[in-house]
Chain A
């Protein structure tokens, strides 16, 4: 955590309030963006806001690293009466991740929107983007089950429309967005239902307060169903196989900024909440173990195999990446389903790695799309010659996705496999191996087209993306590389998170 010591420059008064400022900052920023006269101003606002959010997130993470978990009582009412934010190592990690992705997205949006969103819509678009950012940050920081629902909706409502705005380039974005809305709302409602059961059983909504009461309660059909509904509801948001139907169209159709942001954060936040409930709130016991072993793990494995297969037979690059996202969620959940510290740590590490690589990939695809309507694998033929830098960044992200050595993806798969071996779950190792192989195939197709094929005859030529796009793009792929050579920071975060979840550390 030395890094945080270094980055930790917020004045104490601000640090004390940092947890809420992480959320309130983007909210106020969203208002400012909505009020700003033009798209350019809105963009500046959104970048500044994102910087502020990241700064606060770093302050929070530093605080957590020093003091352990933070509780922040809102309205001055101690939980369970009031709502409290509770930030442990995992929450801090997620906040850092989301805030950084938010910043990268904000930078990227400067140029991306110009080609994808009509001028008069940009201010509102930026505002909506910031609302989503606030929503996801609130989702990972809050310690209150119902408040989590509220933020789930804050992040979703905006997202639906943002996805639909993709119609400007591809009208398929509209049905996709509608589909997303239906799925998402059903998911959220199921979640509320589950929370309702837990509330009925415990009388409280505060997660920390809930856990001991559930443990005291023992086996109760309402609680078990509650878990089922919560996981199912969040599973929809997390694109957990087989509840992932909404994701493909949404990622493929949305404006590239939204794809980048969603791919890197949306499913992750939901996964975080699932992990939080399964390991932090529900008492260990036969029910939980059976659930992990017989439901979560098999579904995750199915996701890895089936969706990777589908990705292989897909034409459009964005859809390939979307399928791959579902498969990768499978990898993460496989790690979590081991229910060991090593497994959870691997899962969290993988989660971060995947956020970075997918951010890079979707951003690169967006960068290509800025100059030329490149959608299918054939369109990508020879694009490496037309836009070498973006192509290089894409290649790095792809390498990390495959798990090539010296990328973060490799270390992620490494720790996943070794944790599975330690747990004696050989079949998981097999699934991982097969999954990696399939990944190799569909990624290989794209890379071969990009680097070893000649451009399509007479097709419009792509040109290199503007610097404003290349910078965040390189940050993403750069991090994938850097953490592949020195993974101290993410590894320590992941380990801390895992030990907190397994109750080995406060």
Chain B
């Protein structure tokens, strides 16, 4: 199979990351920027998960090979394949990326909420969430700073 097929997931993930980054950098609206950031982070998560997928595998929750479920999972697979890559007669996907991404997702929501709360305060202090207008005001502030005579 060509690279486009064997690496389709990765390429798709790349596209998603690019979309996220584009949203982030192409808007001057703080809320929209946070959305873009979220997209970018999520796509990174998808990348990790793609890494951990084992074709023919199943979720990394202990299954007994002789149970109904176990037999059902093994059915479509080549026995040698199961023998070689299975654990206890069942092929699982790689749990490690899942763990890492659980962390990443939670970090993502943490960032999101902090960022948005700052955005809200900005709205209260500047009356807008458009970066351009904020910068205009900031320049004025910068000109004004100093010890009160």
Contact call A171/B147, Cβ cutoff below 8 A: no
A8 and B21 alpha carbons, distance in the complex (Å) = 49
Q: Which of A167, A196, A456 contacts B51 (CB 8 A)?
A: A196
A158-180 near B? 1/0 per residue, CB < 8 Å = 00110010010011101101100
A189 within 8 A of B: yes
B90 within 8 A of A: no
A70 within 8 A of B: no
Q: For the complex formed, measure the closest distance between the CB of A236 and the CB atoms of chain B, giving whole angstroms.
A: 13
Number of residues from B at the complex interface, CB < 8 A: 40
B16-41 near A? 1/0 per residue, CB < 8 Å = 01000100100000100100010011
B149 within 8 A of A: yes
A200 within 8 A of B: yes
A164 and B147 alpha carbons, distance in the complex (Å) = 22
A437 within 8 A of B: no
B92 within 8 A of A: no
Contact call B141/A170, Cβ cutoff below 8 A: yes
Q: For the complex formed, measure the closest distance between the CB of A448 and the CB atoms of chain B, giving whole angstroms.
A: 17
Contact call B121/A167, Cβ cutoff below 8 A: yes
Q: Which of A181, A186, A373, A378 contacts B118 (CB 8 A)?
A: A181
Chain B residues, Cβ within 8 Å of A379: 146-147
Q: Which residues of chain A from 311 to 355 have any CB-CB distance to chain B below 8 Å in the complex? A: 315-316
A19 and B125 alpha carbons, distance in the complex (Å) = 43
Contact call A199/B51, Cβ cutoff below 8 A: yes
A378 and B138 alpha carbons, distance in the complex (Å) = 20
A357-396 near B? 1/0 per residue, CB < 8 Å = 0000000000000001111101100000000000000000
> Which of A260-268, A457-465, A483-491 lies at the binding interface?
A457-465
Chain B residues, Cβ within 8 Å of A174: 118, 121-122, 125-126
Having A160-B115, A164-B118, one finds 19 other A-B pairs with CB under 8 Å, namely: A150-B107, A157-B111, A161-B118, A167-B125, A170-B145, A171-B126, A172-B142, A181-B118, A182-B33, A185-B41, A185-B111, A186-B40, A189-B40, A189-B41, A189-B44, A192-B104, A373-B148, A375-B145, A457-B149
Taking Cβ atoms with an 8 Å cutoff, the residues of B that contact A are 17, 21, 24, 30, 33, 37, 40-41, 44, 47-48, 51, 96-97, 100, 103-104, 107, 110-111, 114-115, 117-119, 121-122, 125-126, 131, 134-135, 138, 141-142, 145-149
